[in-house]
Amino acid sequence: MFESLSEKLEGVFKKLSGQSKVTEANIKDAMREVKLALLEADVNFKVVKDLISKVTERAIGQEVITSLSPSQLIIKIVNDELTEIMGGGAVPLLFKDDKINIVMLVGLHGSGKTTFAGKLGKKLSAKGRKPLLVACDIYRPAAIKQLQVVGEQVHLPTFSIENSKNAVKIAIESLRYAKDSSCDVVIIDTAGRLHIDEGLMDELKKIKEAVNPDEIIFVADAMTGQEAVNIAKTFNDYLDFTGICLTKLDGDTRGGAALSIRYVTNKPIKFVGVGEKLDALEDFYPDRMASRILGMGDVVSLVEKAQEAYDEKKAKELEEKFRKASFTLEDMLDQFQRIKKLGSLKDIMAMVPGMGSKLKGIDIDDREIDRVKAIIQSMTPDERLHPEIINGSRKRRIAKGCGRTPTDVNKLLAQFNEMKKMMKMMTDEKAMRRMMMNVPGAGAKFSVHNKLKKKRKR
């Protein structure tokens, strides 16, 4: 996601890093390249023009804080403006606790509505809601069966009326069924088309009038770039939808839709689909997305993912092990297994500040965790607790036991030692501060934050 755009922007900021001060000339040169990078990423021309204008206006004549370089200052301004263009802040679903909340999903055929229905249902179910999936696609062959299969996968009930040719009636009847079944959220999966036509829009308008949904979510395929933005505008003109879900953001997308669709429709992006699995749905945070685009990682999302995989007691035990330097190979295996629950290793690493550009061209094999597990499980309990006792003969025995080589065992032990060092550093605030100051953009945020803190104290 945004790999190409991030790389181009990083190149622009690198050129600025050698400058001693911000001038009108170097800002205009940088903005020209930023403009080209955004247009190549399929960002709407009006969006690019507005962004460049605002960044240039803010940057020219801006006094550079002593601890900031010109590139850090421009990164901060671009980050702020990207965040604003994508909506400024996260916008949650507009739900009430004293009624059945209705979510209507709209979009073209193939945009991922049915899969999104299951993902959203699963997400809401995890928060204590009781969703009902409703099959209102009466045209596409096997559409009802597909939703039923998705419902079974996420353990949610599905409502449909066999052989019915009236989508409005299905939507109305689903509300009665939801009430009888004590469901508090109804997710209506509507029919799509290969292109926009009056018949599709009329049916959607009738469903909207009949059930008065609390949310109408337009589901857009991010892979279609500017076309997704144009389609969104047409749907919004007809239906006045309340929010957007961008699907397939994990694919080979240039990112233009994410940067343009909010600006063009003036409707918030509420969710992004980042994978095929039914838990690969994220709330949309403009500030975090801006950080990812600028290659600054997304530590907050990474921490939230980690919190889902950890309980507080386990986290405290682990922190204590780091402080006392008693971290073992057993602990390492436990961490890797928890990391595996968070998703793709490459996606996780890309959230770490400064790592995005370093991952380009690197193929991270998610099966590596299984190999690590096999090596560690071939060790004796004593070797796992005290890896320093593993000598040459032990390495050969371990390698033979798991079908690997002594070189693989050496590699794992080296990784273990590096992990111990890194974890120790993460518990050292001064070391973390030094590391953050060396990350482009992250250092800028950190410096501005500290400077403002000092000003407030004065």
Residues 168 and 198 in one domain: yes
d(CA 271, CA 248): 11
Residues 160 and 305 in one domain: no
Instruction: Spell out a b/e string for 328-361, using b for 16 or more CB atoms within 10 Å of the CB, else e.
Output: bbebbbebbeebbebbebebbbbbbbbebeebee
- Please report, for residues 329, 381, 412, the alpha-carbon distance to residue 384 in angstroms, rounded to integers and kept in the order given: 5, 5, 12
As given in the structure block, the two tokens for residue 351 are: 């959230």
Runs of H (alpha helix) within 196-326: 198-211, 226-239, 256-265, 286-293, 299-309, 312-323
Q: Kindly compute the dihedral angle of the four CA atoms of residues 265, 268, 270, 275, in this order, to the nearest 10 degrees.
A: 40
**Whose structure tokens read 């959203």?**
120
The mean pLDDT value for 91-101 works out to 89
What are the tens digits of pLDDT across the range 340-354? 666 565 566 555 544
Residues 230 and 122 in one domain: yes
> Which range is most confident: 59-63, 85-89, 212-216, 318-322?
212-216
**139 within a domain of the structure (yes/no):** yes
CATH number of the domain that residue 23 is part of: 1.20.120.140
**450 within a domain of the structure (yes/no):** no
Residues 129 and 187 in one domain: yes
Whole-number average pLDDT of the chain: 79
> Which range is most confident: 112-116, 359-363, 431-435?
112-116
Residue-number span of the structural domain to which 309 is assigned: 300-439
Q: With 90 as the cut, is the pLDDT of residue 206 above it?
A: yes
Amino acid symbol at 35: K
Q: With 60 as the cut, is the pLDDT of residue 426 above it?
A: no
Runs of H (alpha helix) within 214-255: 226-239
Going by pLDDT thresholds of 50, 70 and 90, the confidence category of residue 333 is confident
**446 within a domain of the structure (yes/no):** no
What pLDDT does 456 receive?
A: 45
Express as a percent the part of the chain with pLDDT over 70. Answer: 73
The mean pLDDT value for 66-91 works out to 78
The mean pLDDT value for 165-192 works out to 94
- Please report, for residues 77, 401, 432, 449, the alpha-carbon distance to residue 71 in angstroms, rounded to integers and kept in the order given: 10, 52, 22, 17
What pLDDT does 444 receive?
A: 45
What would the DSSP string read from start to end of 147-191? HHHHHHHTT--EE--TT---HHHHHHHHHHHHHHTT--EEEEEE-
Express as a percent the part of the chain with pLDDT over 90. Answer: 31
What are the tens digits of pLDDT across the range 267-310? 999 998 888 888 889 898 888 888 777 765 544 555 555 555 55
What pLDDT does 351 receive?
A: 53
- Please report, for residues 74, 81, 378, the alpha-carbon distance to residue 17 in angstroms, rounded to integers and kept in the order given: 10, 20, 49
d(CA 53, CA 85): 13
**455 within a domain of the structure (yes/no):** no
d(CA 184, CA 124): 10
Residues 340 and 195 in one domain: no
Which of the residue ranges 106-110, 157-161, 314-318, 359-363 would you say has the lowest mean pLDDT? 359-363
> Which range is most confident: 31-40, 167-176, 413-422?
167-176
What would the DSSP string read from start to end of 268-285? -EEEEE-SSSTT-EEE--
Q: With 50 as the cut, is the pLDDT of residue 457 above it?
A: no
Domain boundary among 217, 252, 284: 284
**294 within a domain of the structure (yes/no):** no
Residues 8 and 54 in one domain: yes
What pLDDT does 275 receive?
A: 80
What are the tens digits of pLDDT across the range 20-71? 666 777 788 888 888 888 888 778 888 889 988 888 888 776 655 444 566 7
Amino acid symbol at 268: P
**417 within a domain of the structure (yes/no):** yes
Residues 78 and 154 in one domain: no
Which of the residue ranges 165-174, 252-261, 442-451 would you say has the lowest mean pLDDT? 442-451
What pLDDT does 66 receive?
A: 47
Give the 3-state secondary structure of residue 105: strand
Q: With 50 as the cut, is the pLDDT of residue 9 above it?
A: yes
What pLDDT does 373 receive?
A: 87
128, 101 contact by CB (below 8 A): no
CATH number of the domain that residue 169 is part of: 3.40.50.300
Burial zone of 251 (CB within 10 Å; 0-12 exposed, 13-18 middle, 19+ buried): middle
d(CA 41, CA 130): 39
Q: Which residue has the higher pLDDT, 18 or 37?
A: 37
What pLDDT does 19 receive?
A: 64
Residues 114 and 258 in one domain: yes
What pLDDT does 430 receive?
A: 54
**388 within a domain of the structure (yes/no):** yes
The mean pLDDT value for 216-231 works out to 86
Residues 147 and 268 in one domain: yes
322, 424 contact by CB (below 8 A): yes
Q: State the angle between helix axes of 312-323 and 406-426 in degrees (0 to 180), rounded to the nearest 10.
A: 100
Amino acid symbol at 403: G
The structural domain count of the chain equals 3
What pLDDT does 435 receive?
A: 47
Going by pLDDT thresholds of 50, 70 and 90, the confidence category of residue 321 is low
Which of the residue ranges 67-76, 129-138, 270-279, 396-405 would you say has the lowest mean pLDDT? 67-76
Residue 63 DSSP code: P
CATH number of the domain that residue 371 is part of: 1.10.260.30
Q: Tell me the whole-structure pTM to 2 decimals.
A: 0.67
What pLDDT does 94 receive?
A: 86
d(CA 111, CA 115): 9
Strand order across the beta sheet in which 185-190 lies: 158-159, 131-136, 185-190, 101-106, 215-221, 243-247, 269-273, 281-283
User: Taking Cα atoms as reference points, which of 99, 115, 383 lies closest to residue 245?
Assistant: 115
What would the DSSP string read from start to end of 324-376? TT---HHHHHHHHHHHHHH--HHHHHHTSTT-TGGGTT----TTHHHHHHHHH
Q: With 60 as the cut, is the pLDDT of residue 404 above it?
A: yes
What pLDDT does 291 receive?
A: 78
Residues 226 and 304 in one domain: no
- How many residues would you count in the chain? 458
Q: Which residue has the higher pLDDT, 443 or 200?
A: 200
Q: Which residue has the higher pLDDT, 453 or 114?
A: 114
Residues 236 and 120 in one domain: yes
Residues 126 and 68 in one domain: no
Give the 3-state secondary structure of residue 221: strand
233, 264 contact by CB (below 8 A): yes
**194 within a domain of the structure (yes/no):** yes
User: Taking Cα atoms as reference points, which of 254, 243, 197, 252 lies closest to residue 220?
Assistant: 243
